[in-house]
Amino acid sequence: MIRFDCHVHVYEEVSATRGARYVPAGPAPLGHWQAGLARHGLAGGVIVQVSFLGVDNSQLLGALSRLDPQRFAGVAVVPEEIDAAGLDALVAGGIRGIRWNLVRGAPLPDLESPAIAGLLQRLCERGLHLEVQLEGPRLAAIVGPLLSRGVTVVVDHFGLPEAADPAREPWLASLSRGADLSRLFVKFSAPYRAPVDVAPHARALLDLLPPGHVVWGSDWPHTQHEAITDYDRAASARETFGIGDDAAAVQALYGLSPA
């Protein structure tokens, strides 16, 4: 049974950072998401920093301050130079991971640079994971190297596959060659963000990953795709891809429990 919605964006105000790729027309209030959780019997979930707010996590932290920390957590976006004290403050506010949004040709971080290497080390020391949003063809260049550095990696949106056949996705092929996948998790969320049917990829991932390494997310408020779905449709379809039970993954990544 899926009990947690592990990928939503909550913002009471739309105040975009300079250079934002997309700015929604209106807010996504916390109360609206909570109402959706209640309608579908979901116990809690994870708020992910929305891209148009950049590294200003104040609205995310404000939302978390109003929620039960046993059932809700957050994923922040941070500057690469953030220090230990900055990360500790985020952890105290309910943050359990950070996110790299690298879609649409954004340059991949240089894992050998002192700033990135230091950031990854600080994440590992605090048990924080790194969530990566990146198209499938480019994932192979970064997922394996991150895992080899001891980082827990969460791949967004089924890995945003671009090949209809999972066997033709380079990152899945690279993982199939005996890699240690004990620190790799995948979010089954937003199937509409991929240009192909993600069902074969979901089956391939469930076969490839250890048990309890997949979580579901509604992707509410479905930015740029509001015309084709809504919370009720997304939540009603949460069992579609065969996750089964999300308890182990939610506990491992976010320390959450439905009790």
Provide the pLDDT for residue 17.
Answer: 64
Q: What span, in angstroms and rounded, lies between the C-alpha atoms of 143 and 153? A: 7
If one counts the domains in the chain, the total is: 1
Q: What does the pLDDT read at residue 203?
A: 97
| Structure letter (DSSP) for residue 12 | S
In 10 A of CB 25, how many CB atoms? 7
> Helix 84-92 vs helix 114-126: angle between axes, to the nearest 10 degrees?
40
pLDDT digits (tens, 9 = 90+) for 123-139: 999 999 999 999 999 99
- Domain holding 95: CATH number? 3.20.20.140
Q: What pLDDT does 8 receive? A: 98
pLDDT of 172 above 70: yes
Name the nearest CA neighbour of 22 among 48, 57, 52, 49.
52
- Which has more confidence, 16 or 250? 250
Residue 96 domain-assigned (yes or no): yes
Structural domain including 27 reads 4-254
Model confidence at 201, pLDDT cuts 50, 70, 90, reads: very high
Write the pLDDT tens digit of every residue in 52-69: 899 999 999 999 999 999
In the predicted structure, residue 157 carries a pLDDT above the cut 90:
yes
The model carries a pTM of: 0.95
pLDDT > 70? residue 20: no
Long-range contacts of 23-30 (CB under 8 A, 24+ apart): 23/52, 24/52, 24/221, 24/223, 28/220, 28/221, 30/63, 30/66, 30/67
- Listed residue (189, 190, 188, 185) closest to 209, CA to CA: 185
| Per-residue model confidence (pLDDT) at position 41 | 97
Q: In angstroms, rounded to a whole number, what is the distance separating the alpha carbons of residues 245 and 130?
A: 22
Cis amide prior to 69 (ω within 30 degrees): no
Is residue 131, in this structure, part of any structural domain at all? Answer: yes
**How confident is residue 224, by pLDDT bands cut at 50, 70 and 90?**
confident
Is residue 82 within 8 A of residue 121, CB to CB? The reply is: no
101 half-sphere exposure, CB direction, 13 A CA radius:
16
72 confidence band (pLDDT: 50, 70, 90) = very high
Q: What is the pLDDT of residue 26?
A: 84
Is residue 99 situated within a structural domain? yes
Confidence of residue 240 (pLDDT cuts 50, 70, 90): very high
Residue 259 lies in a domain: no
Contact by Cβ (8 Å): 239, 2:
yes
d(CA 167, CA 243): 20
